[in-house]
Amino acid sequence: MTLAELLPSVGACGEPPLEEDLWPAGTGFAAGGDLLFAGVAMTQLAARFGTPCQLLDENEVRRRARAFQAALPEAEIAFAGKALPCRAVFRWLSAEGLSVDVCSAGELACALSAGVPAERILFHGNVKTAEDLKAAVSAGVGRIVLDSFDEIEQLGALAIAQPVLIRVIPDVDAHTHPAITTGTAGQKFGFPLGSVPRAVERVLAHPGLRLAGLHCHIGSQVRSVAAYEEAARRMSRLLRALPVRVEQLDLGGGFAAPYLPGERPFDLAGFVQRIRAAVNYECARPPKLTLEPGRSIVANAGVTLYRVITVKPGFVAVDGGMSDNPRPALYGARYTARLVGRHTRAKRRTMTVVGRHCEAGDILAADVQLPEDIHAGDLLAVPVTGAYHHALASNYNLVGRPPLIGVRDGEARTLVRRETEEDLLRRDVG
Ligand SMILES: *Cc1c(COP(=O)(O)O)cnc(C)c1O
């Protein structure tokens, strides 16, 4: 037995410990400064699949889905598919009994082709085109979440007794980044509180629609349990005041994931206790609750591997960048990074990991501690890349998007293959 096996959270040769709560539970130290990802050495994964490469720990994804179900067994848990839209993930989570949220005909096609039952699909979005609505209706999706008065008419004209939820802006500030705040007045999603009675009236009057409940989603990367409690209270009051009884209250997703050392996971137990109390207090006959976690199920199940290409004073440049992770450029997201695959006793220095793209904002991890002898050819692992990475990737600079590799119990397989130059040129038909 090696020292690393005896002390799984401590590196064998003075490497810093694995930052608590950031890495999948199946991550551990291996010989030669390597890390095991769900039982496979990261250096082997990089050699077999190339870099950059997005790894996903299947057991971790399933474990997190089960944690939501165990915390609130009476609720429906719907995975927000936009966080990681891929067939394998939809299949795993559907097998775990989760529903799936989609917000385009493309995401719907992905969920259907993964075998997610249509009745367990919720269709969201502030813009649903005629094609989106037709695809949703013809698939027979379980619920469509109405976002505007126009949409009530647009969907009503196509559907027959389609179950719908009305998306409400509860006007609760989730204290997160403005780009991912969605629960306050003055943003583009849903019906303001004051217009809800009129929306309900219109839906009830429409033969094409059947009102199944109310929905809200206050934002993403939300840490505040109090913000959810306030939203639950407001939504419950609204539900109680409806002229008809509806069975469902969907409180959305947005539960924060820890990205940096020292950040704590979302307080799921505290959240459940407080929203349950709020809903039970306000409603004599409590509705069926739905939660829509996306990030909190997949973010910490993912790690991206990059190869160091060049080093300059203060900068480590790798073979990926804002094309596989635009989140730092979009909303100042912060990440950590660590050297994998060799031992070093070199001092740690503050450095910034940058990408290969032609923008100064192409940063992957600002001000991280890396050994000062880091050099071209080294392998870097960046944790917490399971949510909104594959989903937000682009072809900027005509760089092919990285593969998504699923790993479970020592076995790795490609879930989404690397994009090739042929893929990139196929659409360019001029
Ligand atoms: C994005 C979104 C979610 C999931 O948000 P996360 O931050 O990934 O948990 C849930 N519901 C709706 C309506 C969304 O738009």
- Give the CATH number, domain containing residue 129: 3.20.20.10
Question: What b/e string do you get for 147-165 counting C-beta neighbours within 10 Å, with b at 16 or more?
Answer: bbeebbebbbeebeebbbb
Q: From atom 3 of ligand 1, which residue's Cα is the shortest distance away?
A: 253
Residue 190 annotated as binding?
Answer: no
Atom of ligand 1 nearest to the CA of 180: 7
Where in the sequence numbering do the catalytic residues fall?
358
- Structural domain count, the chain: 2
- Rounded Cα distance, 376 and 367, in Å: 19
pLDDT in tens, 364-397: 999 999 999 999 999 999 999 999 999 999 999 9
Residue 79 has a pLDDT of 98
With a 6 A CB cut-off, is 174 part of the ligand 1 pocket? no
CATH, residue 16: 2.40.37.10
pLDDT in tens, 161-191: 999 999 999 999 887 777 777 777 777 899 9
Strands 40-41, 35-37: pairing kind: antiparallel
Residue 187 has a pLDDT of 79
DSSP strand E in 344-428: where? 348-354, 363-371, 379-383, 404-408, 411-416
Residue 359 annotated as binding?
Answer: yes
Q: Which residues of the chain have pLDDT under 70?
A: 1-14
Residue 404 has a pLDDT of 98
Strand (E) or helix (H) holding 89: helix 87-95
Q: What is the pTM of this model?
A: 0.95
Q: Find tokens 């705040």 and name the residue.
A: 181
Residue 294 annotated as binding?
Answer: yes
Which of 296, 319, 340 is at the close of a domain? 296
Strands 143-146, 191-192: pairing kind: unpaired
With a 6 A CB cut-off, is 80 part of the ligand 1 pocket? yes
Residue 13 has a pLDDT of 53
- Identify whether residues 102 and 186 lie together within a single domain: yes
User: Among positive and negative, which fits the CA dihedral 92, 43, 302, 423?
Assistant: negative
Which of 248, 279, 296 is at the close of a domain? 296
Which structure tokens are listed for 246? 């509806």
- Identify whether residues 101 and 214 lie together within a single domain: yes
- Residue 205 is part of which domain span? 58-296
Atom of ligand 1 nearest to the CA of 296: 9
With a 6 A CB cut-off, is 257 part of the ligand 1 pocket? no
